[in-house]
Structure 1
Amino acid sequence: MTLYLLRVALLLLFIVLSAQGIFYLFAVKEAFTIISIEAFIEQRKAVDLIIGSRLKVIYFLALLLVLVVLALASKNYGSLVFITTAISCVCLLTDMGFALKISVPLNQLMATFNPDNQQVDWESLRVEWLFYIAVRGWIMIVGLLTLLAGFLLQNKPTLP
């Protein structure tokens, strides 16, 4: 029962983390390409200010939980629970790697925005940021769908 509840909690955390990617993929990415660079940077700064610290906590909890679930499921390496959780863990770690190596530095650079600074190609920066947020979104969607598939296949509902 403990493993089941931990998996439910992990699934909920993945839903929250994937929702960001889904939102950017299906709405914000296109909108961010048609607004001015000044508006884009302003939006990014505002969103980072609000969501940055919240996401750090959620990522930390998700990483902790995925490792606990893997440890508990490691008694049976071939089990659906272990395999789907391991795949989701790889997705989470990959997303976190992209965030730390690419997204965070890009966000920090955007925080220094000055339209008069001709040394930074702000338009290219926007394109790069949008590309990597889409990549990260797809990675987390794969992780979420993998967890969900493992959950549903492991706990097949019975029809009356």
Structure 2
Amino acid sequence: MLAFLALIGISVSSLLFSRWSRIESLSEPEVRQRFEQILEQEHLQAPYLEIGEDGKVSVDRSLEGEPGQKLASLCLLAWEADRGQLLNMEIPFWFVRIKMNRYFNLGTLTTALAGDWDQIQLKISVEELQRRGPGLLLDHVLENGSRILLWSRGESTPR
């Protein structure tokens, strides 16, 4: 019975992720343009998280606002340069909240959806995401040209 419930959970999660994501094959210039469009359209500026050359993650706490800000979704744009594929995903925040134990592991998400990404392990809590509020969470480029852009949208953020 437990295996059956686990299978149902995996099936439902897979179905939801397929509805919330889109993978495209694009040229590098098209991808650069897409990233710039998103940064401009979403008014994304300073990232909340930065990954240094040594792999250490720093958090810019000066970007935090009031606790408990309402978020509508987490958005991911991930370019896998070696494959020439762009992943665009928007996950409703209610799903993030349900699926999280205590922390949202960005490394697991990006590893699963965009390839290896050297298994970056970023853990951030729902409370930290809400204190950050809508805005840029991460903009990271790897040596091979792969790039990940992660941002949150507020309930009143226009699309």
Same fold by TM-score greater than 0.5 = no
Considering only CA atoms, is the larger Rg found in Structure 1 or Structure 2? Answer: 1
Structure with greater contact order relative to length (CA < 8 Å, sep ≥ 6): 1
Q: What TM-score, normalized to structure 2?
A: 0.30
Q: What TM-score, normalized to structure 1?
A: 0.30
